[in-house]
Copies of this chain bind each other. A is one copy, B any other.
Amino acid sequence: MPHDCGFLADLSLSPDQISFERADRDRFATDYGTHAADASRPDAVVYPASTADVSTVLAAANDRGVPVTPYAAGSSTEGNAVPVEGGISLSMERLDEILAFRPDDLQVDVEPGVVGGDLEAHVATEGLCFPAFPQSAAFSTVGGMVANDASGIRAVKYGELREWVLELEVVRADGTVLEVGSKAKKSSAGYNLVDLFVGSEGTLGVVTRVTLELAVEPARTLAGRAIFDSLDDATAAITDAIRAGIDAATVELVDSLTAEIANSYTDSGLPSEPMVFFELHGRGVDREMDALVDVLRNHDPVRVDTAVEEAERERLWRARREIGQALLEYDPDRELEVVGDVTVPIGAYAEMVRFVGEVSASFDLPIPAFGHAGDGNLHYAILANLDDEDERERVSEASGRIVQRALDAGGTCTGEHGVGVGKREYLRREFEPAVIETMRSLKATLDPEGILNPGKMFD
């Protein structure tokens, strides 16, 4: 349903901040996933340059009931930023300043359009880093990371992004500007509004400024890799390492199909065998590595490399980062239809990985499995020939089975990608109706007209 957005011209925006052009509207109609509907093109694109611009647009849209969907870098995979009900796409790309860097506080204030990689480079000048970045940080932006509570390969040690968000400036649907949270590292002052907005996928408010906590760059980093004959050995080694309290920053699983796919795309030099990558941070990494190797050796590894040099490490992590692209290009006859990120308690991880293998076999679908294993986070992709109706149905059924298994183990349908359009059905499976109803009531309180990113999550 098209929405009349002519009112935008009457607001205090300059002409170059508003576009009704088809090319611009097309650019904001999709994300990196496959969940954009035909009808999901915005009617207009607005490029705010300040918090006041965001407030002005929201207040006016709210008065008219016109949907507004914030759009960061568009690297979401579940249609999170796709304006499925049309209206306005609110591009955050001009809000891209690093506003203040306070290295002695280990803090930085940024606008939501700042690209993760740019922020990393900026804070590195003072020996600091932002350890909660997702794999997409070279092009994804802080605003999108906050919206989806992103996390990445270092979450084993450093946790989710939300743990690093101290303060937010957020504009409510009616245009009211809120500053929530505190620049203190911890606070018990009132309700935790920061964590309500983080991960809310732009459905409760539009984030216009973020104060992030930073970490000091590790004094030393060691990386390594263990290759196993079987995936079961690999996952058993991982769960044992976590149970032993190995202080790892990163524990990544790569199965043999994923390794093969990565090799087809880039010169990753990965053997086509189940592997575990790991990275340890800190002054005492040598002792930690000794303990980790002891655990790994209990599971008959084919080979353990513990002193991966920086260049080689970079090559490994590049291969890991590029898996998404590699999956897209692997098989010209099959599209990347499902990108899963279920997460389960660590004790259930090995069984979860095994189950994905069983689903792959029984549904006759290639399902490469990989992921941030140290958190219990399992990524998997389902590659499918979408012209084949039977195959499409098998994909849907296989995906549902995998998610259900994760939920039965007490886990979640999404560890870091968010719900968007693609996981709405799974969200309803994950929570009882009373919980969904509670989420809806919070949404109705903060956005009574329902203008913010409609059609997502439980909507």
Query: Could you list which residues of chain A lie within 8 angstroms of chain B, going by C-beta atoms?
Result: 102-107, 127, 148-151, 155, 159-160, 162-163, 167, 172, 176-180, 182-193, 195-196, 198-200, 204, 215-219, 239, 242-245, 247, 282-288, 290-291, 343-348, 375-377, 406, 409-419, 423, 426-427, 430-432, 434-436, 438-439, 441-446, 457-458
Q: Are A148 and B188 in contact (CB under 8 A)?
A: yes
A215 CB contacts on chain B under 8 angstroms: 245
* Alpha-carbon separation in the docked complex, A258 to B244 (Å): 39
Please tell me how many copies of the chain the complex holds: 2
Shortest Cβ gap from A70 to chain B (Å): 16
6 shortest interchain CB distances as A-B pairs:
A284-B284, A216-B245, A183-B410, A195-B195, A104-B347, A187-B412
* Alpha-carbon separation in the docked complex, A189 to B429 (Å): 11
Q: Are B105 and A347 in contact (CB under 8 A)?
A: yes
Q: Are A184 and B410 in contact (CB under 8 A)?
A: yes
Among the listed B102, B198, B412, B445, which residue makes an inter-chain contact with A347, where contact means beta carbons less than 8 Å apart?
B102
* Alpha-carbon separation in the docked complex, A213 to B277 (Å): 24
A348 CB contacts on chain B under 8 angstroms: 105
Among the listed B196, B244, B345, which residue makes an inter-chain contact with A185, where contact means beta carbons less than 8 Å apart?
B345
Which B residue sits closest to A416, measured CB to CB? B188
Instruction: Please list 22 pairs of residues, one from A and one from B, whose beta carbons are closer than 8 Å in the complex, sorted by A's number.
Output: A102-B345, A102-B347, A103-B243, A106-B243, A159-B186, A179-B432, A184-B344, A184-B377, A184-B410, A184-B415, A185-B343, A186-B375, A188-B415, A188-B416, A189-B423, A189-B431, A190-B419, A191-B200, A193-B439, A282-B288, A283-B287, A284-B287
A346 CB contacts on chain B under 8 angstroms: 104-106, 185
A406 CB contacts on chain B under 8 angstroms: 184
Q: Are B430 and A172 in contact (CB under 8 A)?
A: no
Shortest Cβ gap from A267 to chain B (Å): 32
Question: Quick one: given A182-B430, A347-B105, A445-B441, are A190 and B243 in contact (CB under 8 Å)?
Answer: no
Q: Are B416 and A186 in contact (CB under 8 A)?
A: yes
Which B residue sits closest to A430, measured CB to CB? B189
Among the listed B104, B179, B430, B434, which residue makes an inter-chain contact with A243, where contact means beta carbons less than 8 Å apart?
B104
Question: Quick one: given A196-B195, A445-B442, are A414 and B347 in contact (CB under 8 Å)?
Answer: no
Q: Are A375 and B190 in contact (CB under 8 A)?
A: no
Question: Quick one: given A107-B345, A282-B247, are A186 and B217 in contact (CB under 8 Å)?
Answer: no
Q: Are A162 and B192 in contact (CB under 8 A)?
A: yes
Which B residue sits closest to A218, measured CB to CB? B245
Q: Are A198 and B189 in contact (CB under 8 A)?
A: no
* Alpha-carbon separation in the docked complex, A245 to B217 (Å): 8
* Alpha-carbon separation in the docked complex, A42 to B245 (Å): 46
Shortest Cβ gap from A415 to chain B (Å): 5
